Amino acid sequence: MIITKKALPRRTFLRGLQATLALPLLDAMIPAATALAKTAAKPVPRLGYVFIPMGCHHDKWIPEGQGRLGQLSPSLSPLEPVRDQLTVVTNLELEMSYPGTHDTSNSGFLSAAFAKHTESSDYHLGTTADQLAAKQIGQDTQLPSLELCMDLDPLAGVCNNGYACVYQNSLSWSSPTAPLPSEAHPRMVFERLFGEGGTPEERRAALQNRASLLDSFSADVQQLKAKLTAGDRTRVDQYLDSIREVERQIQRAEHGAMTNPEPDMDRPTGVPVSFADHARLMFDLQALALQGDLTRVITFQLTRELNNRTYPEIGVPDPHHPTSHHGNDPEKLEKIAKINTYHVSFFSEFLQKLAATPDGDGSLLDHTVYLYGSGIGNPSIHDHENLPILVAGGAGCGMKGGQHIRYAEQTPLANLHLTLLDRVGVHLESFGDSNAKVENLFDEVTV
């Protein structure tokens, strides 16, 4: 990969702004001094995906014109601070998703695959883009991928239109028959990332404790080996290989704990009551995971399809789903736009956070590409055309940014997946129903 070195004065500006940008939780989570001290030699590309349900109000979503990104549309206006790292892609579709269904909006978003119509456990979809990426770029990190959501309890039984609930629960599928669960509980996520043990000191002590337990085990195994027959010794040699591998892992973790200690915060114990706090916390956890290089692939279901969450804090006291069947009622359309803007604002805060976090020769945002969008276009009829889709970040990996790619005709969303996968080294002929790559998303650089 060739890293293009661009001068991005905005980033310097943002870095100065960090304190004011920081949310209460973020503030405690990222120790600024240590973040700055991190001097990883070679940045790695990371991929993230954020899913929103039930489409958008297109008039308020799609910016004017095409090519260079001009005036941001009302729904995208929160993204103003990161507009030069933002590409809006218009007129993408999910042709494999069944018209009018919520389930296949979710299931098609990352798979671009046909969801077998069944209520039973014989469900069948396709391996999702994030999981293909994880197989390529997720193997050297603690977690190959991280799957997050906001709705705590997975649905059971039959969901909608005779589709099994897994289609609506799981964005990520590691194979056509293996949906991955996602986690909404911040503490569970935290523990997956940082393990038990609270403070960095405790964590380091715990790692040293592990190392000495391993030493003791290793010594005992060596002694045991002497008592065994030749055939059984081969087996013990395999154990010794495992011991060395775990030793390496502990060393890596210790190194990580030294150079990039986990956040100096009380581990989250409960689930924040308000949607905003919960969403921010989940985004903060993603920033931490990326910053610590604990994972390089993340999917996040910002809310589930068919959700009836209300957003009184932004003047939408009505449940999302019935509102989304707007029937062109201006009042309902306005409320959909408000929800769209609200969701985008959390994404923008997160992107700014990444932009303010140094990483190698640039920022974390420079080395991270996020795809944000929905599997439904017009929520009133739940179609899967003209999807709201954004791509952000990646300036350090050749992403152009500041663009509006506007297709004249409906074009498979799978083309975008194919293009992003290609950029992280998964070179496929095609993905889902793709028929080309997305041109002009990245600089023409040799990968």
Partner 1 sequence: MPIRKTALSLAITTCVVGPVAAQEASTSHRQLLDRYCVTCHNDRLETAGLSLENIDVGNPREHAEVWEKVVRKLRTGTMPPPNRTPPPVEDSFALRTWLESNLDAVAETQPFAGRTESLRRLNRTEYQNAVRDLLALDIDGGALLPPDEAGHGFDNVNVGDLSPALLDRYISAAQRVSRLAVGTTLTSVQSDVIRLPADVTQEDHMEGLPIGTRGGVVVPYTFAQNGEYDIQIRLARNREGRVGGLRQPEDHTLELLIDRERVELFTIEKPPEEDDHALVDAHLRTRIEVTAGPHDVGVTFFKRTASLLETERQPLQSHFNETRHPRQTPAVYEISIAGPYNATGAADTPSRRRLFVCEPTETNQSLDENCAEQILMTVMRRAYRRPVSEDELNGPMGFFREGQAEGDFDAGIGKALSAVLMSPSFLFRVESDPEEIVDGGAAYRISDLELASRLSFFLWSSIPDDELLDAAIRGVLSDSDELERQTRRMLADSRSFNLASNFAGQWLRLRNLEAVTPNARLYPDFDDNLRQAFRAETEMFFDSVLREDRSVVDLLSADYTFLNERLAKHYGIPNIYGSRFRRVSLDPGSKRGGLLRHGSILSVTSYATRTSPVIRGVWVLDNIFGAPPPPPLPNVPSLEENAVAANLPMRERLAAHRTNAVCASCHRTIDPVGFALENFDAIGRWREHEGDNGLMDASGGLPGVGDFVGVAGLEEGLLSRPDLFVGTLTEKLLTFALGRGIEFYDAPAIRKIVRDVEFEEYRFSSVILGIVNSVPFQMRNST
176-235: which residues touch partner 1 (CB under 8 A)? 185, 187-188, 191, 196-199, 202, 206, 209-210, 212-214, 216-217, 219-221, 224, 227-229, 231-232, 235
Residue type, 117: H
CA–CA separation, 193 and 291 (whole Å): 11
In the bound complex, what is the minimum distance in angstroms from residue 303's beta carbon to partner 1? Answer: 8
- Residue among 37, 158, 428, 447 that touches partner 1 (CB under 8 A): 158
Give me 379's structure tokens: 């929520």
Give me 22's structure tokens: 């920081």
Cα Rg of the chain (Å, integer): 23
In the bound complex, what is the minimum distance in angstroms from residue 270's beta carbon to partner 1? Answer: 5
243 binds partner 1 (CB under 8 A): yes
In the bound complex, what is the minimum distance in angstroms from residue 155's beta carbon to partner 1? Answer: 5
CA–CA separation, 232 and 302 (whole Å): 52
In the bound complex, what is the minimum distance in angstroms from residue 126's beta carbon to partner 1? Answer: 21
325 binds partner 1 (CB under 8 A): no
CA–CA separation, 410 and 241 (whole Å): 53
Q: How far apart are the first and last CA of the chain?
A: 5
Strand 368-374 and strand 46-52: the pairing is: parallel
- Residue among 269, 327, 328, 330 that touches partner 1 (CB under 8 A): 269
Give me 261's structure tokens: 């200690």
**For helices 103-111 and 413-423, what crossing angle results, to 10°?**
40
Residue where the block lists tokens 């009380």: 266
In the bound complex, what is the minimum distance in angstroms from residue 105's beta carbon to partner 1? Answer: 13
Give me 62's structure tokens: 């799609």
Provide φ and ψ at 169, rounded to 5°: -80, -45
Strand 368-374 and strand 387-393: the pairing is: antiparallel
Candidate segments 148-156, 290-298, 390-398, 403-411, binder of partner 1 by CB under 8 A: 148-156
139 binds partner 1 (CB under 8 A): no
Q: How many CB atoms lie within 10 A of CB 299?
A: 28
CA–CA separation, 180 and 129 (whole Å): 13
331 binds partner 1 (CB under 8 A): no
242 binds partner 1 (CB under 8 A): yes
406 binds partner 1 (CB under 8 A): no
Residue 157 or 330: which CB sits closer to partner 1? 157
151 binds partner 1 (CB under 8 A): yes
CB 73 within 8 A of CB 388: no
In the bound complex, what is the minimum distance in angstroms from residue 205's beta carbon to partner 1? Answer: 8
Which residues contact residue 159 at a Cβ distance below 8 angstroms, ignoring those fewer than 6 apart? 102, 103, 165, 167, 168, 306
310 binds partner 1 (CB under 8 A): yes
Per CB under 8 A, which of residues 67..126 are in contact with partner 1?
Answer: 119-122
Residue 85 or 142: which CB sits closer to partner 1? 142
In the bound complex, what is the minimum distance in angstroms from residue 93's beta carbon to partner 1? Answer: 25
CB 410 within 8 A of CB 385: yes
168 binds partner 1 (CB under 8 A): yes
In the bound complex, what is the minimum distance in angstroms from residue 215's beta carbon to partner 1? Answer: 10
156 binds partner 1 (CB under 8 A): yes
28 binds partner 1 (CB under 8 A): no
- Residue among 140, 245, 264, 439 that touches partner 1 (CB under 8 A): 245
In the bound complex, what is the minimum distance in angstroms from residue 357's beta carbon to partner 1? Answer: 27
Candidate segments 9-17, 300-308, 394-402, 413-421, binder of partner 1 by CB under 8 A: 300-308
155 binds partner 1 (CB under 8 A): yes
CB 48 within 8 A of CB 368: yes
329 binds partner 1 (CB under 8 A): no
CB neighbour burial string for 150-173, b if at least 16 within 10 angstroms, e if fewer: beeebbeeebbeebbbbbbbbbbb
In the bound complex, what is the minimum distance in angstroms from residue 52's beta carbon to partner 1? Answer: 14
